[in-house]
Each structure stands twice: as structure tokens, then as C-alpha cells.
Amino acid sequence: MPRSTRQITIDRPADEVFAFVSDPANDPQWHDTILEVTPTSDPPLRSGSTFTAVFRPQDSPATYDLLAEMTVYEPGELSELQVLFAEPRGRVPAMVGRFVLTFRVESEGSGTRLTRGVETRGAAFRYRFLWLLLTPVARRSNQARQDELLGRIKAILESGHAPVTTPEPGRRAAPNG
């Protein structure tokens, strides 16, 4: 199903970039459709760590509860988060299915190359044909959205004011404001 992979270079050390982007609790700081994230497993962050989140699609008043699991966690290099809708009913969950989000960091000179991948899997059958028809348009839109989000991450990290927030299990992380 739809997949988008984009890269950006950030003028910060790779370990700092990885620490920020691999922790879903930081997502509300840079991702405007993620309203809050709550760890549901004990620290430290690792493969198998779990989270709940609240998602609001762009230009929509509706919110959806999400369940997430860190399926790959290679410190300093790669993280993969699989995300499902807690209640898989309705048009948005049926269209999207589940998300697979990846971050890869690589040292590049004095900075870091950050690669973010987003893939949707398991959309309802009736929407798969629609995705195929819309792929050329969706690809451009997804790439622009990815670039926007990566630009936010870059701005936060290069500002030197990137608080890494890892709340205790059961406590929410919400945007700084």
C-alpha cells in the first residue's frame, strides 16, 4: 500500500537526532496530527515498548485512539513503530489500516542524515483500488507532507531546545506550548 520515504540532513549529532525521533513521546512536539502519546510499558525504550496515542487527521475535528508498538529498536541507527487504530471502525481506519513508521539515522560529516519512512498496510479491500488510482497524486502529497514534518524536526533539533520527553508509563506527553 502507500509508502513514502524522505530524507533530510540535520546539523546535530546522530545520537541526539536518534534519541529525539525514535521516542514516540516526542511526536506531539513536531507532528501536528499527534495530540498526545502515553507510554504503556516500562522504560527503557526498546523493541516491544508500547504506547497509546491520540490522532486527529488534518482538517478534521474527529480524533482516534491509537495503539503502537516499537517493533525494531537499534539504538543510534533504526527504529520502527507499528500503529493500529484502537477502534478499527469508520472511514479513516478503514482507508488507512495500520501505519508502519521508520526512522534511520546516519552520521554525515558533522551532521546527521535522517530518513523517515511511512507505510500504510491493511486498508479495507474497497479502498485498495482507490489507493491504486490515486497513487500518483497521493505520492506527491505524501512527499510534501513528509518534507514538512522533517523540516519541523530539523528546526527543533537545530534550535538546541529539543527537550526529550519520556514520561513514566501512564503519564501523557503533550505538545510544549
The C-alpha atoms of residue 74 and residue 161 are separated, in whole angstroms, by 25
Domain that holds residue 34: 3-158
Q: Note the pTM of the prediction, 2 decimals.
A: 0.83
| Residues 6+ positions from 79 with CB-CB distance below 8 Å | 18, 21, 22, 70, 72, 73, 102, 103
pLDDT (0 to 100) of residue 79? 98
Let me know if residue 168 belongs to a domain. no
Let me know if residue 176 belongs to a domain. no
Place 59 in a pLDDT band, splitting at 50, 70 and 90.
confident
Let me know if residue 114 belongs to a domain. yes
Q: Give the E-state strand segments of 19-156 in sequence order.
A: 34-39, 50-55, 64-74, 78-85, 98-108, 111-121
Place of cell 472511514: 91
The C-alpha atoms of residue 112 and residue 105 are separated, in whole angstroms, by 6
Let me know if residue 27 belongs to a domain. yes
Let me know if residue 79 belongs to a domain. yes
Report the number of distinct structural domains present in the chain. Answer: 1
- CATH number at 71 reads 3.30.530.20
pLDDT (0 to 100) of residue 143? 83
Q: In this prediction, what percent of the chain has a pLDDT beyond 90? A: 59
Let me know if residue 152 belongs to a domain. yes
Place 176 in a pLDDT band, splitting at 50, 70 and 90.
very low
Let me know if residue 66 belongs to a domain. yes
Let me know if residue 166 belongs to a domain. no
The answer to which of 44-53, 104-113, 125-134, 157-166 has the lowest mean pLDDT is 125-134
